[in-house]
Amino acid sequence: MSANKEMHFSSSRTSLRFGSLLFLMTVMLMVAMCDASSGEVIELDLSCSCLHGRFHSNTFQNIPFLSSLDLSYNDLYGQIPSSIGKLSNLTSVNLSCNHLFGQITSSIGTLSNLTSLRLSSNRFSGQIPSSIGNLTYLTSLSLFNNQFSGQIPSSITKLSRLEYLNLGYNNFDGEIPSSLGSLKHWRYAFWGEAVLMAPFAVLGFLMKPLQLKVGGNEIAVSIETYKSSYKNAVSKSCTQFGKDMIVLCKEKVFVVNVLGYVSYNFVIGAYSYWGPKAGYNIYKMKNADIICGIIGTLSGGLILDRVTATIPNAFKLLSGATFLGAIFCFTAFTLKSLYGFIALFALGELLVFATQAPVNYVCLHCVEPSLRPLSMAISTVAIHIFGDVPSSPLVGIVQDHINSWRKTALILTSVLFLAAAIWFIGIFINSVDRFNGEESESEKQRRQEQSIVTP
């Protein structure tokens, strides 16, 4: 900060320089990350640093490789200099909660790699520049609590990746662009699927099981809805469900298999959600098409068919493939080369997805015939409730804390080693393959209790 309160940033390899002694008071709060090879500043976080001063027109000219800038919660004023448009590597800008004013420079539309732009709680005025529509990778835009006026530019509807938009507490007039609320995302596909499947879910509760009667070449199928016996049937079903769950929980092979599957799915769920953003931030990958899942799944089934298909062998394949896959994926994230990452990560994913066939084999073969549907259902529910559902927000919390996608990816990948260890334990558990076994007396009794004979 110079005596005339103009703010300058300069980078001579790794140094940042201010023109007043106030810098000595704020340097302890400053967080600057430099590129290991070039020494250039690539990330700058001076949020909540009690900075006071005015932006200079050449503020950003000496830090051309900057990818992340956070100057929020300070006492800065002035206009955003047009030189910010020269920072072509910028992916995140946060200037919220300052006293910046004037119009947003149209040069901000040249930041084609920008994914997050936060300018809330300032005194910006005028219209939003139409060039903002050029920020096609933008996922978060916050212009909350300013003095913007005029119409919202129609170009904002080009931001097809936008997930968060806050334009509140401004002075806009006119109509909101009609297509702004019609941006399509994959979530609509899931909503559509849920609506289409709803009738089948309802019928599953209201209809009696099919009663097949084989007589000669004729099969009579009777389907009736519950009436007076509905409450009694529900009570019996709940009681039987509780008994079956106790049996499943006592089956050590099943429990170990599901625990390993939960750990595995924890990683896969977070990969699918955060993978594109992590890939872009670490390797500047804008697109990634993965076919390793299909090939790996087929390979796992073929390998299990080749060897003697037993529960211990299935656990060997599960632990071995997951362990080797974890090594490849972990190593991939330590590389700086994009091509090296793609090669190793593809091999890792190929091995990791080879677990699909053996994990389901164990689920079906470790329980008695009448419990197979329940074992598959509980396995599926468990891997989502305890696996991919909590993994995405938890990984987001970790990333917010350490602010390094590479380290976050390495921590996440380490969970695959836990899955491999759990499945390795399954090799030594005494197991009985019940897939082709005849029904025991208890099984016959359970099946009779579950069935409702049509009068």
pLDDT at 138 over 50: yes
Q: Is the dihedral of CA 335, 338, 342, 343 positive or negative?
A: negative
Sorting pLDDT into bands at 50, 70 and 90, what band is 275? confident
- The pLDDT confidence band at residue 382, using thresholds 50, 70 and 90, is very high
Q: Which of 162-166, 193-197, 262-266, 335-339 has the highest mean pLDDT?
A: 262-266
Please state the pTM of the whole predicted model.
0.55
Q: Which residues is 55 bridged to in the sheet?
A: 7
Q: 405-408 long-range contacts, Cβ below 8 Å, gap at least 24?
A: 405/277, 405/278, 405/281, 405/282, 406/282, 406/333, 406/334, 408/274, 408/278
pLDDT at 25 over 50: no
Structure confidence at residue 187 (pLDDT): 60
What's the pLDDT score for residue 12? 35
Whole-number pLDDT of residue 418: 96
Predicted confidence at residue 224, as pLDDT, reads: 47
Identify the helix (H) or strand (E) that includes residue 330.
helix 311-334
Burial 214-230 (b: 16+ CB within 10 A, else e): eeeeeeeeeeeeeeeee
Q: What is the mean pLDDT of residues 424-438?
A: 82
Tell me the C-alpha distance between 435 and 363, whole Å: 10
pLDDT at site 409: 92
What number is the average pLDDT over the span 391-418?
91
Q: Looking at 7-11, 192-196, 273-277, 410-414, which range is the least confident one?
A: 7-11
Work out the percent of the chain whose per-residue pLDDT is above 90: 25
Q: What is the mean pLDDT of residues 373-392?
A: 91
Tokens 């970790």 map to which residue? 398
d(CA 293, CA 271): 12
Average pLDDT, the chain: 78
Q: What is the mean pLDDT of residues 283-304?
A: 63
SS3 384: helix
Q: Residues 379, 355: contact at Cβ < 8 Å?
A: no
pLDDT higher than 70, residue 454:
no
Please choose, from the candidates 128, 133, 160, 161, the residue with its C-alpha nearest in 3D space to the C-alpha of residue 144.
128
* 19 pLDDT higher than 70: no
Predicted local confidence at residue 320, as pLDDT: 93
The three-state secondary structure class of 68 is strand
What homologous superfamily does CATH list for 6-182? Ribonuclease Inhibitor (3.80.10.10)
User: What average pLDDT score do residues 208-221 get?
Assistant: 50
Which of the pair, 31 or 400, is modelled with greater confidence?
400
The pLDDT tens digits for 99-122 are 999 999 888 888 888 999 999 999
pLDDT of residue 346: 86
Residue 134 predicted with pLDDT over 60: yes
**287 against 347, higher pLDDT:** 347
Q: Which of 11-20, 47-56, 247-256, 279-288 has the lowest mean pLDDT?
A: 11-20
For the cut 90, the answer to whether the pLDDT of residue 408 exceeds it is yes
Mean pLDDT confidence for 327-348: 90
Q: Is the pLDDT at 123 greater than 60, yes or no?
A: yes
Question: Rounded mean pLDDT of 227-247?
Answer: 76
CATH topology of domain 241-450: Growth Hormone; Chain: A; (1.20.1250)
- pLDDT score for 3: 35
Mean pLDDT check: name the lowest of 91-105, 192-206, 219-233, 408-422.
219-233
Model confidence pLDDT, tens digit, residues 31-52: 556 655 666 778 888 888 888 8
256 within 8 A of 418, measured Cβ to Cβ: no
The pLDDT of residue 218 is above 60: no
pLDDT number for residue 15: 35
pLDDT of residue 32: 58
Q: Is the pLDDT of residue 425 over 50?
A: yes
The full set of domain ranges for the chain reads: 6-182, 241-450
Tokens, residue 240: 């039987």
Contacts (Cβ under 8 Å, ≥6 apart) of 446: 240, 243, 244, 370
Backbone angles phi, psi at 19, to 5 degrees: -95, 15
Look at residue 16 and tell me whether its pLDDT is greater than 50.
no
Q: Give the pLDDT confidence score for residue 296 in this predicted structure.
A: 60
The pLDDT, as a whole number, for residue 287 is: 56
Burial category of 183 from C-beta neighbours within 10 Å (exposed 0-12, middle 13-18, buried 19 and up): middle
Report pLDDT for 53. Answer: 84
